[in-house]
Amino acid sequence: MYSEKVMDHFSNPRNVGEIENADGIGQVGNPKCGDIMKVYLKIENDIIVDVKFKTFGCGAAVATSSMATELIKGKTLEEASKITNKAVLEALGGLPPAKVHCSVLAEEAVTAAINDYRRKQGLEIENQLCDGCCG
C-alpha cells in the first residue's frame, strides 16, 4: 500500500532526533488521533542549518516527517514556509488517500516550528494553526 520511497523514508528516516537549544520547536497533532510530530530547527541568518524530528504515528507519518525535514534543510525560512503538504506528497511519490492527512501534519509541524522561532525573535506570525485533529 506504500510506495518504495515511503517505505525507504519509514525504515531509514532522515533527521531523527532532538536539537539542544533549538531556535524553534513545533509540535502538532494529538495522541488521541494517533499522530504527533515534533520538529526542531537550528537557524542561522534566516537559514535552516539543521533540523530534527520526532514522530509518534503510522508509517506515513514517519515518512512524511522525514521527507519534510529533508525538503527544508538548508532553505531560508521564507522558502521553507512555502513548502506545502503537496510538495511533501509529490516528493514521496504519493500516499494512500486515508494517509494524506499525515502530510498535512508534516507541513503544520514545520510551520509551528517556524512560528515558534518568529515568536522568540519578536517577529510577526504568518500562518496560524488549528489545534487537535487536523486530519
Which of 9, 22, 23, 35 is in the footprint of another protein by CB under 8 A? 35
Q: Is residue 63 a contact partner of residue 2, using CB atoms and an 8 Å limit?
A: yes
For another protein, which stretch binds (CB under 8 A), given 43-51, 55-63, 84-92, 111-119? Answer: 55-63
Residue 5 within binding range of another protein, rule CB under 8 A: no
Question: Which residue is catalytic, options 102, 130, 133, 134?
Answer: 102
CB of 52 to another protein, least distance (A): 11
Residue 56 within binding range of another protein, rule CB under 8 A: yes
What string of DSSP letters covers 51-113?
EEEEEES-HHHHHHHHHHHHHHTT-BHHHHHT--HHHHHHHTT---GGGHHHHHHHHHHHHHH
